[in-house]
């Protein structure tokens, strides 16, 4: 996922990337929940241009994951779509204090700031691989759900409440009254 700074103009240039196997295995190493769940290749479509000395990048990451619903435990496909933006300033003579950031700048021509939307570049070749992995982590659902209103498994009888109803809820709803009835009965 390389961007060549010397080819960029003042007007946006479009690029598309499909994640390589190497990128994917590194992503799976860093984000264990991706292992075995990437159902479609991760794709990136972006536009990049120069803004004075800076490089301005705007794009979207897409893909799909096969995940297990956290409520009903069914496997389902989660489409991924994460827009992103990145402004890179020339690093110039700046050397990042963090060794990891300094390494990234030397090896990949890019290091990111504390905020994901900002960073520095060096040289003419920017490898966006690490940045795109960060974007992917943002795209992952916090709570995997097969659908927004998944009713989940009944905690009492274990039935999937999306497909077959059970009357546990109804009985529980009755129970406060049942207790009340019992109390009343005791008073009498
Ligand atoms: Zn579900
Ligand atoms: Zn039930």
The tens digit of pLDDT for each residue in 132-187 reads 999 999 999 999 999 999 999 998 999 999 998 888 866 666 655 655 665 665 55
Q: Residue 159 Cα, ligand 2 centroid: separation in angstroms?
A: 6
Ligand nearest to the CA of 78: 1
What is the full DSSP assignment across 102-143? HHHHHHHSEEE-SSTTEEEE-SSEEE-HHHHHHHHHHHS-SS
Question: Contact, 24 vs 37, CB < 8 A?
Answer: no
CB 61 within 8 A of CB 44: yes
Of all ligands present, the nearest one to the C-alpha of 162 is 1
Q: What is the mean pLDDT of residues 66-70?
A: 94
pLDDT band at 48 (very low <50, low <70, confident <90, very high): very high
pLDDT tens for 116-129 read: 799 999 999 999 99
Range in 49-53, 110-114, 138-142 the model is least confident about = 110-114
Task: Please give the distance, rounded to the nearest whole angstrom, from the Cα atom of residue 145 to the centre of ligand 1.
Answer: 5
Q: How far, in Å, from the CA of 76 to the mean position of ligand 2?
A: 23
Contact 88, 126 (CB under 8 A): yes
For residue 77, report the distance from its CA to the centre of ligand 1, in Å: 11
Q: How many residues does the chain have?
A: 188
């Amino acid at each position: 996922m390389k961007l060549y700074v010397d080819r960029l103009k003042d007007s946006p240039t479009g690029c598309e990337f499909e994640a390589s196997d190497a990128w994917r295995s590194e992503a799976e190493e860093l984000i264990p929940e991706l292992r075995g769940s990437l159902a479609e290749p991760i794709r990136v479509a972006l536009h990049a241009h120069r803004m004075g000395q800076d490089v301005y990048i705007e794009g979207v990451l897409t893909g799909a994951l096969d995940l297990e619903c956290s409520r009903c435990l069914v496997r389902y496909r989660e489409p991924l779509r994460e827009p992103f933006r990145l402004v890179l300033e020339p690093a110039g003579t700046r050397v990042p204090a963090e060794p990891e950031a300094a390494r990234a700048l030397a090896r990949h021509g890019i290091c990111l700031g504390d905020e994901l939307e900002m960073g520095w570049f060096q040289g003419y070749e920017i490898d966006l691989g690490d940045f795109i992995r960060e974007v992917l982590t943002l795209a992952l659902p916090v709570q995997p759900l097969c659908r927004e209103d998944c009713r989940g498994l009944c905690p009492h009888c274990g039935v999937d409440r999306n497909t077959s109803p059970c009357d546990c809820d109804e009985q529980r709803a009755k129970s406060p009254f049942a207790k009340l009835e019992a109390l009343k009965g005791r008073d009498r």
